[in-house]
Structure 1
Amino acid sequence: MSFNDHEQCVKRGGEMEFQESRAEHFTSISREPPPHVLIERALIQIAGDGDAAKFRNEVLAAAGWKHSNLISFGKYPDQAASAFNRIRAVLAQTQDKGAVMASLGGG
């Protein structure tokens, strides 16, 4: 993922900073990817060669997303924004796979 292409994510000294996710990001269309898409890309990158989809789902669950991965974020946009903002805060501190899960209470 190229962080230089998007103002929504800044990578400084190993830290990732994303714009805050808002409910409207899950119910509208934009030319620029919303913060949650960039956060998902970062999670897949952090997962590495393992099962990236499984890691993403585990992180989302640990962050408070209580719905299956088949449920659209747009169905519960406030809950989705809350979960992604928890992940956002953790990614600002660490990109270590184990530390991400531990920080969210899932590891």
Structure 2
Amino acid sequence: MAFDEAVHPDHFSTLRRTPFPHTLIEQQLMQMGGGGVAGSTFRKQVLLAAGWPHDGLVPFAKHPQLASTTFNRIRLLLDGHSQPDTLLAALAA
């Protein structure tokens, strides 16, 4: 899935009818990780590898600039990496 829309800091404090790109990215990561607990664990690993240092209790809206930078980094790599291990390796590079 291609994510053409960039993630902006105001996405974390705004509501709209269509999902924001970071929501779609999170859904894609959950699917890549196998769904359920495994998918959630994979999503957390990717967010950490992409630069999000906070645990799941800290909302993205608390640090919107860092969150948008993190999600945009993931967004740019998702097109070329459809396997979980290659995505994590690309984020580590």
TM-score range, shorter chain: over 0.9
Give per-residue Cα distances to partners, 1:26-73, cap 9 Å, x unaligned: 011111110000000000111125611110001000000011111000
Query: Which ranges of structure 1 fall in alignment gaps of 5 or more residues?
Result: 1-10
Which has the larger share of strand? 1
- Give the number of equivalent residue pairs: 92
Post-superposition, which runs of at least 4 consecutive aligned residues in structure 1 deviate over 3 A? none
Q: CA deviation at 1:17?
A: 2.8
Which deviates the most, 96-105 or 42-51?
Answer: 42-51
**What corresponds to 2:48 in structure 1?**
61
Query: Within 5 Å, which residues of 2 pair with 1:76-87?
Result: 76-87=63-74
How far apart, CA to CA, are the structure 1 residues paired with 2:73 and 2:6? 10
Rg comparison, structure with higher value: 1
How far apart, CA to CA, are the structure 2 residues paired with 1:35 and 1:84? 9
How far apart, CA to CA, are the structure 1 residues paired with 2:19 and 2:74? 17
Higher relative contact order (CA 8 A, sep 6+): 2
Query: Within 5 Å, which residues of 2 pair with 1:24-35?
Result: 24-35=10-21
SS in 1 for 2:16: coil
Q: CA deviation at 1:93?
A: 1.1
Query: Which ranges of structure 2 fall in alignment gaps of 5 or more residues?
Result: none
Q: TM-score, normalised by structure 2?
A: 0.92
SS in 1 for 2:69: helix
Q: TM-score, normalised by structure 1?
A: 0.81
Q: CA deviation at 1:97?
A: 0.5
CA RMSD of aligned residues (A): 1.5
